[in-house]
Amino acid sequence: MQKKVIKTNLSIIDDLRKKADELDKLRLKADREIDEDYVQLREVEKEIRRLEPLRESDVKEFFTMIQKVEGQRDEVVKQIKEAEKTFGIKMDQSDLNAINGVLSVSQRMEENLRKDINTYNQAYRALVAAINKI
């Protein structure tokens, strides 16, 4: 009777060892997968840390040029109106209309750039805050 008990115990222990070996293999596999993902996460973190917030000064030359052209256009419109009033004539404004079209497109682009800068900076701040929590 003693031999059966010993053999049964050995069999149970062998099964338990196999399960422990399987468990250890799964642990190593999971650990390896987590390490690989963590490396990727650290690479993303490095890239985020390299980013800088955008400033309107980055596109200030464009914004300044829009203001200059608007000012010059307003001055030309004023001069045209004065000349029309003085001489009682109607002047051709097709060139001015073309300039107004370019200005209109540029003004929309300026609005979009300002929105893009704000959106980028919001995302930048959120990403930096998230990274700093790690």
Task: Place 5 in a pLDDT band, splitting at 50, 70 and 90.
Answer: low
Tokens of 129: 């805050």
Region 96-125: what's the mean pLDDT? Answer: 94
Give the CA-trace dihedral at 98, 101, 103, 105, to 10 degrees.
-140
The residues, any chain, with a CB within 8 Å of residue 85's CB and separated by 6 or more, are none
Region 7-24: what's the mean pLDDT? Answer: 84
pLDDT of residue 8: 62
User: To the nearest whole number, what is the mean pLDDT of the chain?
Assistant: 89
pLDDT of residue 95: 85
Query: Is residue 48 a contact partner of residue 128, using CB atoms and an 8 Å limit?
Result: yes
What is the chain's Cα-based Rg?
36
pTM, rounded to two decimals: 0.64
Task: Place 18 in a pLDDT band, splitting at 50, 70 and 90.
Answer: very high
Region 45-57: what's the mean pLDDT? Answer: 91
pLDDT of residue 105: 95
Region 33-48: what's the mean pLDDT? Answer: 92
